[in-house]
Structure 1
């Protein structure tokens, strides 16, 4: 799908201000605040509607039309994807839907698996500061908030390789979704979690600034998660650690145990009932109960 310019209204009535509760992002102000000499972010583009910002940015990277630090933001995604090709849908201008292109050529490829975890730390940090919402991370890539005392998923992260030396990281966060707009009962939003602000401009700036800070630290440390403090920061904000969980693994196998640690490769270490500690590098994690 061809991205539409952010000045166009998705309802086709010629006014991008048709929903005054959800004003459009100010692309000019975002560029002015984020793109400058010495910054990671090289360009910030806001489009009204597209299928998937990740797919678009991966294609641009393959064509050679996007450089490191490119940021593509959509007011609405019609084919947004999460892990395992799950669909991510939300009303126009109700959240933050964006992708960034990173080229960590100084970091060994074996450590690139930390990028979605790094992004999770940055998103949680930026939103906590800008929205005043207590956020937590569910391994490996979900953002959790509390709604009525219950943990709800309010966001997710998806990283994809983009040719040689490139990774596109996509982020989706529900900002102003109301209860009757939630796609599933277990979903949440910053609004429902009691955010002090749902103004998406400062929220996006806060997230991207935190992402830049963490990415630069990680890259300068050669991707070493311990040396740059990333491993400790993720563990401190991870709601999965200390819980009994079920890991739904590739191939249909499942594993139940206590999530006791995050190893140097970003894998979740489970202590099973058999007394074995087993690292999990991929799979769906289901929180069972607190320990």
Structure 2
């Protein structure tokens, strides 16, 4: 892996300049900050896989941030591949160690990351950003909701590695699938990745500190309310593709205290869904 502090040929695409690693470190790795280190590499397989390995080796501590300009084996939820042209998005992972928070509440971390990222993107990019349960970031492109980002969480002993992928400047002909989107395609007023990354990490750090200070209580920390306010899945008829090739159709009526999506089915039963793929069918 090569550091992007001095990128050389990466300036060949002037519309997609490299991230400024020293500037990012000065802004984010400061006394009192959650973030304790920040590295930017030109290319890797997956920042998530790299940090998981470092945590297991004991060489990465809480607050470590690893950013890649390009990933060859990026991963999304449900082991899906995540690919994008170099320097066209934000691809990074962080290490958190939620001491003082009962492990039963750690399942809120990917939802927390979704709220923090959506909030930052809406403010810094100037575009409406919604969350599809549990943590897909949706933007409106040509009148349609498109997935522009996602979050992956993995527990490693007493740490959690969170991975974030966000499409920033992808053009229509570069989208991995027709249903994908990017900030540029959504008409964002700002697509400079440096301020976007600063905004996302600051938002994530602030939200994490509030959650951890409340011992992970999603209500007391304001996380559950914030998530419900930004979750565009609520109020819709959805189909949940559940483990074991089972599916469930109903109206998404709430997100419960464990972060599960509660579906009201046609037979009057409310059933919580904790894992699975959600398909939006229509507005309720």
- Specify which of 161, 180, 194 is matched with residue 187 of structure 2: 194
Residue pair 2:47, 2:92 contacting (<8 A) in 1 also? yes
Structure 1 distance, partners of 2:164, 2:127, is 17
Residue pair 2:5, 2:21 contacting (<8 A) in 1 also? no
Structure 2 residue 170 is the aligned partner of structure 1 residue 172: no
Structure 2 distance, partners of 1:38, 1:209, is 12
Residue pair 2:265, 2:271 contacting (<8 A) in 1 also? yes
Residue 259 of structure 2 aligns with which residue? 266
Residue 249 of structure 1 aligns with which residue? 242
Structure 2 distance, partners of 1:36, 1:5, is 21
- Counterparts of 1:23-62 in structure 2 under 5 Å? 23-62=17-56
Structure 2 residue 145 is the aligned partner of structure 1 residue 131: no
Secondary structure in structure 2 of the residue aligned to 1:4: coil
| Structure 1 position 7, deviation (Å) | 4.9
Residue pair 1:8, 1:15 contacting (<8 A) in 2 also? no
Residue 204 of structure 2 aligns with which residue? 211
Residue 154 of structure 1 aligns with which residue? 148
What whole-Å deviation, never above 9, does each CA across 1:150-195 have from its counterpart, x for those lacking one? 0000000000112x21000000000000011011110000000000
Residue 236 of structure 1 aligns with which residue? 229
TM-score by length of 1: 0.96
Structure 2 residue 118 is the aligned partner of structure 1 residue 120: no
Cα RMSD of the aligned pairs, angstroms, is: 0.8
Residue 63 of structure 1 aligns with which residue? 57
Residue 5 of structure 1 aligns with which residue? 3
| Structure 1 position 6, deviation (Å) | 1.5
Residue 282 of structure 1 aligns with which residue? 275
Structure 2 distance, partners of 1:133, 1:49, is 29
What whole-Å deviation, never above 9, does each CA across 1:259-278 have from its counterpart, x for those lacking one? 00000000000000010000
What whole-Å deviation, never above 9, does each CA across 1:251-290 have from its counterpart, x for those lacking one? 0000000000000000000000010000000000000000
| Structure 1 position 8, deviation (Å) | 6.7
What whole-Å deviation, never above 9, does each CA across 1:64-111 have from its counterpart, x for those lacking one? 111100000000000000111110000000000000000002100000
TM-score by length of 2: 0.99
Structure 2 distance, partners of 1:244, 1:8, is 50
Structure 1 distance, partners of 2:253, 2:10, is 48
- Specify which of 87, 97, 100 is matched with residue 93 of structure 1: 87
What whole-Å deviation, never above 9, does each CA across 1:102-123 have from its counterpart, x for those lacking one? 0002100000000000000000
Residue 73 of structure 1 aligns with which residue? 67
Secondary structure in structure 1 of the residue aligned to 2:233: coil
Residue pair 2:41, 2:68 contacting (<8 A) in 1 also? yes
| Unaligned stretches of 5+ residues in structure 1 | none
Residue pair 2:5, 2:20 contacting (<8 A) in 1 also? no
| Unaligned stretches of 5+ residues in structure 2 | none
Residue pair 2:5, 2:22 contacting (<8 A) in 1 also? no
Q: How many pairs does the alignment contain?
A: 284
